[in-house]
C-alpha cells in the first residue's frame, strides 16, 4: 500500500510502505475510511522534534478488515473509531480512565494511520464500533473523535468546565476549538476564546464561544481578568504547548481554579515559585480519548454535536504533502485525508 512518510522536517511523501498484517492475536486490521494530519505532526515537520523516514498519522476511522484470534468485541465489517493510543482498557490505569497511559499502550503514531490500511493493537480495548455504517456526512465528526475532539473534551474536563462556569481556551487550533464545544456541552455559561485569526474566531463562535479575545501574553491575561471581576477564570484550557501559552493559561486562572493542558509542552519550563503562589490545579497530558469515545460517538451519531466542521480542507491521501503545507502555513485548521 501507499502511505505517508516524513523523511525529514518539511519532507512529506506518499510512497509504497508495504501492507500491514495481524502480528498479535489481539490485533485488528482496519481499512481506513478517513485520516487526518494532527497539529502535533507539525512539531517534526518544523524540525522541533527529530524525524527520520517515519510513517505518519495516528487518527483514523474505518472498517474492520481482519481480526486476530483473541479479538472479541469488534468483528470484520464493523465501522470503528479508535484513539491515538492503543490500550487494553482493562489494566488498573485504564480502569481509572487514563487509557493513554495504559501499561500496555502502543502509540498509533508509530504505526502510521495516514494509509489505506492500519494495524490496531489491543483491538478490544482500543476500538469502539459505531451503531452501524455511518452516513457519509458523519465521517468527519467520527474522525474528529479519534483525537482532537476527545483531546479537547479531556482538556475541558481537566479545566473543571461545568454548569455555570466560565472557561477560557488558550489556543485556536482544532483542539482548542473543540475544547470550546466541549465546554459548552459540559454546561459552561461563558466560554472565552483566545484567538486573533478571523477564520478561527468565526469557527470559535460556531462552536459556542461567548467572547473572543485577540490579545495574547500579559495583555491576554489582563483582558481575561477584566472579564472575570479581576480574579481570573476558574477554568482554563491550554491547547498550544509553548512556554508563553502555558504561562498565559496559568496566569489567567484564579487561585483554586483549574488549568487543563493538552498542548505537548515543547521547551516548557514551569517556574516552581510562581506555580506555588498561583494556587491553581494543573492537569493534562496525552488525552485518554478512549474514556470519552462511547459518549462522543453517541453525541455524533444522534447529531447533537458536529465537530467535523473543524476540517476546513479535504484532500485525497496522495496529496498529503499539500495538507501538511496548508496546516504549517495556517491556511487550514485541520486537513481531512480521504483514502
Q: Binding residues for its own copies, per CB under 8 A?
A: 92-93, 96-98, 100-101, 103, 229-231, 234, 241, 243, 246, 254-256, 261, 264-273, 275-286, 288
Coil/strand/helix, residue 33:
strand
Closest approach of its own copies to the CB of residue 123, in Å: 22
Distances from the Cα of 79 to the Cα of 32, 62, 142, angstroms: 10, 6, 10
Closest approach of its own copies to the CB of residue 272, in Å: 3
State which residue, 93 or 118, has the beta carbon closest to its own copies. Answer: 93
**DSSP, res 240:** S
State which residue, 198 or 273, has the beta carbon closest to its own copies. Answer: 273
Among 252, 246, 250, 190, residue whose Cα is nearest residue 226: 252
Closest approach of its own copies to the CB of residue 80, in Å: 25
State which residue, 15 or 229, has the beta carbon closest to its own copies. Answer: 229
Among 337, 334, 338, residue whose Cα is nearest residue 312: 334
Closest approach of its own copies to the CB of residue 96, in Å: 5
State which residue, 97 or 214, has the beta carbon closest to its own copies. Answer: 97
Closest approach of its own copies to the CB of residue 220, in Å: 19
Q: How far apart are CA 300 and CA 296, in angstroms?
A: 6
Contact 155, 239 (CB under 8 A): yes
State which residue, 167 or 336, has the beta carbon closest to its own copies. Answer: 167
Output the 3-class SS for 160-178: CCCCCCEEEEECCCHHHHH
State which residue, 256 or 316, has the beta carbon closest to its own copies. Answer: 256
Closest approach of its own copies to the CB of residue 101, in Å: 3
What residues are paired with 258 via a beta bridge?
235, 281
What residues are paired with 236 via a beta bridge?
168, 259
Amino acid at each position: 500500500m501507499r502511505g505517508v512518510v516524513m523523511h525529514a522536517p518539511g519532507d512529506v511523501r506518499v510512497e509504497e510502505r508495504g501492507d500491514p498484517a495481524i502480528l498479535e492475536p489481539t490485533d485488528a486490521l482496519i481499512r481506513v475510511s478517513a485520516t487526518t494530519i494532527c497539529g502535533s505532526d507539525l512539531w517534526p515537520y518544523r524540525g522541533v522534534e527529530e524525524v527520520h523516514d517515519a510513517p505518519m498519522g495516528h487518527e483514523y476511522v474505518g472498517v474492520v478488515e481482519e481480526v486476530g484470534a483473541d479479538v472479541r468485541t469488534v468483528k470484520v465489517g464493523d465501522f470503528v473509531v479508535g484513539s491515538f493510543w492503543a490500550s487494553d482498557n482493562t489494566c488498573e490505569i485504564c480502569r481509572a480512565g487514563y487509557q493513554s497511559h495504559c501499561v500496555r499502550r502502543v502509540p498509533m503514531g508509530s504505526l502510521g494511520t495516514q494509509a489505506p490500511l492500519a494495524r490496531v493493537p489491543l483491538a478490544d480495548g482500543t476500538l469502539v464500533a459505531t451503531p452501524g455504517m455511518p452516513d457519509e456526512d458523519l465521517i468527519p465528526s467520527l474522525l474528529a473523535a479519534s483525537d482532537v475532539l476527545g483531546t479537547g473534551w479531556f482538556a475541558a474536563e481537566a479545566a473543571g468546565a461545568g454548569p455555570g462556569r466560565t472557561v477560557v481556551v488558550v489556543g485556536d487550533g482544532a483542539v482548542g476549538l473543540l475544547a470550546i464545544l466541549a465546554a459548552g456541552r459540559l454546561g459552561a455559561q461563558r466560554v472565552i476564546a483566545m484567538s486573533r485569526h478571523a477564520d478561527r474566531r468565526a469557527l470559535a463562535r460556531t462552536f459556542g464561544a461567548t467572547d473572543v479575545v485577540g490579545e495574547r501574553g500579559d495583555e491576554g491575561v489582563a483582558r481575561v481578568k477584566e472579564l472575570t471581576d479581576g480574579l481570573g477564570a476558574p477554568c482554563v484550557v491550554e491547547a498550544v504547548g509553548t512556554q508563553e501559552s502555558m504561562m498565559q493559561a496559568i496566569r489567567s486562572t484564579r487561585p483554586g481554579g483549574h488549568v487543563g493542558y493538552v498542548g505537548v509542552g515543547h521547551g516548557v519550563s514551569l517556574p516552581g515559585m510562581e506555580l506555588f503562589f498561583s494556587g491553581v490545579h494543573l492537569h493534562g497530558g496525552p488525552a485518554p480519548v478512549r474514556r470519552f469515545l462511547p459518549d462522543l460517538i453517541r453525541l455524533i451519531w444522534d447529531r447533537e454535536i458536529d465537530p467535523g466542521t473543524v476540517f476546513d480542507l479535504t484532500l485525497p491521501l496522495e496529496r498529503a504533502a499539500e495538507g501538511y503545507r496548508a496546516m504549517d502555513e495556517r491556511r487550514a485548521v485541520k486537513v481531512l485525508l480521504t483514502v
